[in-house]
Amino acid sequence: MYYSQFLVALLLLVVGGSQAQSVWTYTCRNEKFCQRVAVADLPGGGGVPLDVCKLNCDKAHGSLFPLPTGQVTLGPNTTPFYPGYVTPSGYDAYPIPVRDLFRAAAGIFIDYLNKMRPSGPDDPIYRNAVNVRLTASDTSTAMFTLGTDESYTLTVSVSADGKTVTADISAVTFFGARHGLETLSQLIAYDEDLDVLQIVNTASIVDKPVYLYRGLALDTARNFISLDGIKKVIDGLSYNKMNMFHWHISDTNSFAMEVEGWPQFTTHGAYSSEKIYSLADMRDLVAYARARGVKIVPEFDEPAHVGFGWEWGPSAGLGNLVVCLNEDPWYDLCLQPPCGQLNIVNDNVYVMLGHIFTSMLKIFDNDLFHMGGDEVHFGCYNSSEEIKAWMAANGTSTDVAGFVSLWGSFQHQAHDKLVAASSNKDITGILWTSELTHREYISEYLDPAKYVIQIWTETLNADTPAMITDGYRVIFSNYDALYLDCGFNAWLGSGHNWCSPYKGWQSIYDHSPHGIYANATNSTMADAALADGRLLGAEAPLWVEQADEKAYESRLWPRGAALGERLWTNPTTNWADAEHRMVTNRNRMVARGINADAMQPEYCSMYQNKCYGPGAWDGEVTSPPTSPQTPAPSPATSPQTPAPSPPTSTPPSSTTQGNQSNCRIMLVFSPYASLNSLEKFLRGGTGAASSTVGGIFLVITSLLWSLSTA
């Protein structure tokens, strides 16, 4: 009997102990770093949870990302509150399209807060009010364009009694106000000690972006990405104040986009009937993005990167709509299999382009449209008897100049079809750099008033400064700096893929369009190009030959965020100044549901000034390493996992509490410590601590059963 009572008491002690607070807390050092310290070392209190510490420890930046471009003032104090006591207001009288955008954005903001602190019992002492007032002077702009004002100001104040926090966000347009809401969300953190949210209760921020075009491109044709998957990309863009989602929706591999009135495209071109973007899907996606301050720029790539989905032409009496589709050897006809290019001497091709453009522009915005235009392979056209016969009949040579002329004629006709399909006759086409954009051809075939050039060629390509100087607006997507699919194994043959090495977030952060053009010309010319919009911005593409629904997020993030700050802020400092905020921002994205890749061991967040490169010690840490190299592991241990200490009977010190006590017991009962089925039963404790308690529970209940049957 006494044994049973003792063991039950031990069980209750262990379960209750798992609820004890951590022995660690965080303090701000030098108004810059959050440092983990033992609670026992702060007898007078003063520590706070890590995320709360990061809100305003760095007085100049806090944990804001991207860094604001104007004045930033953050107060030293926070006010606790619950999500249910937040009230957005200020926009209900606006015209319906803009009012609905504000309502959607306010709902998204509240959702952020509920994710930080799920509903639960409230302590009356923390039922403080947070009033968020949103205003825009332009209440008619409900569609983002390259001329949209994205500036905002944010002020946060607290009432004299400390019971009410007021956040005022004022902007010219909804899109600026939405950015202000994102900034406000970054002044809020979850306080796990008190189980409340904390908000910086005095702040003043003035902010606007440097570059007009700040985006990511995602290919969903080589591997299908679901609608929900694409929405997560848009979420990530919004968290980083990036405003452009370039959707590479079709390619030779597949045609998954529904075209109104022409089901043949998806019937022949989709990977399966489940892998299709319906008209309703695309409308939903446009609305979803707009409420998050993101514009979808659709790309219909042509005349190359076209194939499956077009092969039904002969059976419909339209002739061959494509040439060299899926032919071998592919390397003589295209740059990767499967091959395929539009049959640009067939008049029915232009008729079908008109139908496609009309269908797309009923859904997507009618001011920017990506027309592709890269990697046109003259070997493909030279293999087509139909095309060669047409060229001969029309006196066009089959040399490079002749094929460029044929291509230029196609581009002119395709653009005419785009304009005819659009209600906006000033619609701008975007084209990738290609043979057609070389300096000897570009002015003949491409009018700078009608086209934006997206530069995927190398950073130091000589054509780039020339086209900017000649008046072309450009988007930087240099493959040697911004391609997110680089640095992995080859999928054609062995070795690494063609654009290796991997592009780390640091080099992406430092990739400055202004700096590139200034280095090629001078800073005065670069300033002028930025001011007049020729330096539109940049975009990091992800081609998904080797990234499907299971892998694409970690390829995009957090590297995409690094580009986001480069384009919003254009900082004069390099990546090192942003590193701590990058890590915090990555963790914030993960908390919101983005599967962003890890940047560092979690230790580095707990000791912000400890993780630095060789030679970078600034004297602020207390114990600099004696060697820049990681010590080699002893032969008896794995390089990843240290050898476990043997069980000890030494009692825990007076400062060892809660989960640390559990860990000591787990060494004894480790064979039983992975019974996850018991975790939900046990009060308190999560992760390893809960499993530990589960193991102990099994041992105790087994002993009780033995005693009761003895």
Structure confidence by residue, pLDDT tens digits, 83-121:
999 999 999 999 999 999 999 999 999 999 999 987 778
Residue pair 171/152 in contact by the 8 Å Cβ criterion: yes
Q: How crowded is the C-beta side of 465, counted as CA atoms within 13 Å? A: 16
Phi first, then psi: what are they for 30, rounded to 5°?
60, 25
pLDDT band at 44 (very low <50, low <70, confident <90, very high): confident
Please check whether residue 57 lies inside any domain of the structure.
Answer: no
Domain match, 186 and 222 both: no
Among 418, 294, 313, 276, which residue's Cα sits nearest to residue 360?
418
- Catalytic site includes residue 375: yes
Please check whether residue 194 lies inside any domain of the structure.
Answer: yes
pLDDT in tens, 340-392: 999 999 999 999 999 999 999 999 999 999 999 999 999 999 999 999 999 99
Of the candidates 192, 311, 327, 375, the residue annotated as catalytic is 375
Q: Is the pLDDT score of 710 beyond 70?
A: no
pLDDT in tens, 571-623: 999 999 999 999 999 999 999 999 999 999 999 999 888 888 886 655 544 33
Domain match, 240 and 202 both: no
pLDDT band at 266 (very low <50, low <70, confident <90, very high): very high
Q: How many structural domains does the chain have?
A: 3
CA distance 605 to 590: 14
Q: What is the pLDDT of residue 700?
A: 39
To which H or E segment does residue 542 belong?
strand 535-542
Q: What is the pLDDT of residue 407?
A: 98
Domain match, 299 and 188 both: no
Domain match, 402 and 327 both: yes
Q: What is the pLDDT of residue 265?
A: 99
503-523 mean pLDDT:
98
% of the chain residues with pLDDT over 90: 79
Q: What is the pLDDT of residue 120?
A: 79
CA distance 32 to 18: 33
Q: What is the pLDDT of residue 617?
A: 58
pLDDT in tens, 221-261: 999 999 999 999 999 999 999 999 999 999 999 999 999 99
For tokens 């911005």, what's the residue?
A: 537
Partners of 451 in the β-ladder: 429
Instruction: Could you list the beta-strand ranges (E) of 179-294.
Output: 188-191, 196-200, 203-207, 213-219, 244-248
Give the list of residues 6+ apart from residue 249 with CB closer than 8 angstroms, or none. 220, 221, 256, 257, 277, 298, 299, 300
Strands 451-455 and 188-191, how do they pair? unpaired
Please check whether residue 238 lies inside any domain of the structure.
Answer: yes
What 3 state SS string does 361-391 have? HCCCCCCEEEEECCCCCHHHHHCCHHHHHHH
Among 414, 427, 344, 418, which residue's Cα sits nearest to residue 378?
344
Domain match, 490 and 354 both: yes
Please check whether residue 581 lies inside any domain of the structure.
Answer: no
Among 555, 456, 577, which residue's Cα sits nearest to residue 509?
577
Average pLDDT, the chain: 87
Q: What is the pLDDT of residue 20?
A: 54
Q: Is the pLDDT score of 652 beyond 70?
A: no
CA distance 589 to 595: 8
Q: For residue 479, how far is the Cα from the chain centroid? A: 18
Among 52, 47, 51, which residue's Cα sits nearest to residue 21?
47
Please check whether residue 25 lies inside any domain of the structure.
Answer: no
Residue finishing a domain among 207, 240, 273: 207
Please check whether residue 611 lies inside any domain of the structure.
Answer: no
> Which has the minimum average pLDDT: 130-144, 160-174, 636-650?
636-650
Q: What is the pLDDT of residue 285?
A: 99
Q: Is the pLDDT score of 708 beyond 60?
A: no
* Alpha-helical runs (H) found in 496-643: 505-509, 513-520, 523-531, 552-556, 559-569, 579-591, 603-606
Question: What domain range includes position 337?
Answer: 213-572
Please check whether residue 601 lies inside any domain of the structure.
Answer: no
Look up the CATH number of the domain holding residue 352.
Answer: 3.20.20.80
Residue pair 109/331 in contact by the 8 Å Cβ criterion: no
Query: What number of other Cβ atoms are within 10 A of residue 373's Cβ?
Result: 29
CA 361-363-365 angle, to 5 degrees, is 65
To which H or E segment does residue 269 belong?
helix 264-269
Domain match, 9 and 125 both: no
Residue finishing a domain among 572, 602, 633: 572
Q: Is the pLDDT score of 55 beyond 60?
A: yes
Q: Is the pLDDT score of 570 beyond 70?
A: yes
Collapsing DSSP to helix, strand or coil, 220 comes out as coil
Look up the CATH number of the domain holding residue 89.
Answer: 3.30.379.10
Collapsing DSSP to helix, strand or coil, 453 comes out as strand
Among 154, 141, 147, which residue's Cα sits nearest to residue 99?
141
Is pLDDT larger for residue 23 or for residue 212? 212
Burial class of 12 by CB neighbour count within 10 A (0 to 12, 13 to 18, 19+)? exposed
CA distance 573 to 580: 14
What separation, in Å, do the N-terminal and C-terminal C-alpha atoms of the chain show?
A: 11
Q: What is the pLDDT of residue 643?
A: 36
pLDDT band at 22 (very low <50, low <70, confident <90, very high): confident
pLDDT band at 702 (very low <50, low <70, confident <90, very high): very low
Domain match, 202 and 271 both: no
Domain match, 195 and 272 both: no
Alpha-carbon Rg for the chain in angstroms? 30
Whole-prediction pTM value? 0.85
Domain match, 295 and 414 both: yes
Residue finishing a domain among 190, 207, 224: 207
Give the list of residues 6+ apart from residue 167 with CB closer than 8 angstroms, or none. 130, 131, 132, 133, 154, 155, 156, 184
Give the list of residues 6+ apart from residue 84 with CB closer than 8 angstroms, or none. 119, 122
Please check whether residue 1 lies inside any domain of the structure.
Answer: yes
pLDDT in tens, 515-552: 999 999 999 999 999 999 999 999 999 999 999 999 99
CA distance 354 to 352: 5
Is pLDDT larger for residue 671 or for residue 263? 263
Domain match, 397 and 348 both: yes
% of the chain residues with pLDDT over 70: 84
Q: What is the pLDDT of residue 615?
A: 65
Collapsing DSSP to helix, strand or coil, 50 comes out as helix
CA distance 87 to 373: 49
316-336 mean pLDDT:
97
Domain match, 189 and 224 both: no
Domain match, 274 and 161 both: no
